[in-house]
Amino acid sequence: MAAQLYILTGHSRGMGEAIAARLLAPGHTVIGLSRRTNEALAKLAAERGATLEQWPVDLADSLPAAQRLRDTLAGFDAKQFERAVLINNAGAIDSPCALRDAELSGLAKTLRIDLEATVLLCAAFLDATRGWSGQRRVLNISSGLGRRAMASSAAYCAAKAGMDHLTRCLALEEALVPNGARVLSLAPGVIDTDMQVQLRSADAQAFPDRERFVALQREGQLTSADAAAARVLACLERPDFGDPPIGDVRELA
């Protein structure tokens, strides 16, 4: 089995946990970055003969995590892995409200997790693996809200729009170097996660779109975390991955 390396943020729960479970296969090394570890995934890795490293990190302070990632990757042999993949999946959304009413600390946390961490981890990954002989891919989990504005979620929308444009820039840069990484910013669809619970529970007066999210659950339009993970990983396997660098799972999977 060809050795493959996956770095996955937000791996301990939700769609990230489902993605991690699907990646744990013989010959695969998975490095998960989350605030907490997941014992079920550790057990699954042992059962399947996969290697799982879990780094308890707070991506609201992503510089130490990015530095550790760069140093860790630099310690691998350049020919060790047939494929190396960074999946920026972690995301956070502050309590929905107009920007003028938001707590500054909450805005800062959202922007750091949703955009700053992605920028720093991409930089660390692309730097440390630039001389690797295997295939390299970066999959940034974006959102339709990065492409469609929504009131009371300005920081989240802005961060995801920034992720999309970051990915466009990286695609241009990596196209100029030998064995450049292929990059994709992917909207994963509407998924049944804790974030959806948070939006449905928001103050209706502060969040004009609350009823739309309540209706999504009521009408059974939410995709399960495992089904969403399967569709995301199907996109990762596409031969045209990253062409174009912005995509939606509902159009690609």
Active site residues: 156
80, 89, 40: which is closest to 233 by C-alpha?
89
201, 200, 98, 214: which is closest to 149 by C-alpha?
98
Identify the three-state secondary structure at position 67: helix
Identify the three-state secondary structure at position 222: coil
The rounded distance, in Å, linking the Cα atoms of 250 and 253 is: 6
40, 25, 137, 43: which is closest to 87 by C-alpha?
137
Radius of gyration from C-alpha coordinates of the chain:
18
Is the CB of residue 121 less than 8 Å from the CB of residue 160? Answer: no
How would you classify residue 239: left for phi > 0, otherwise alpha for psi between -120 and 50, otherwise beta? alpha
Q: Write out the H or E segment, with its range, that includes residue 113.
A: none
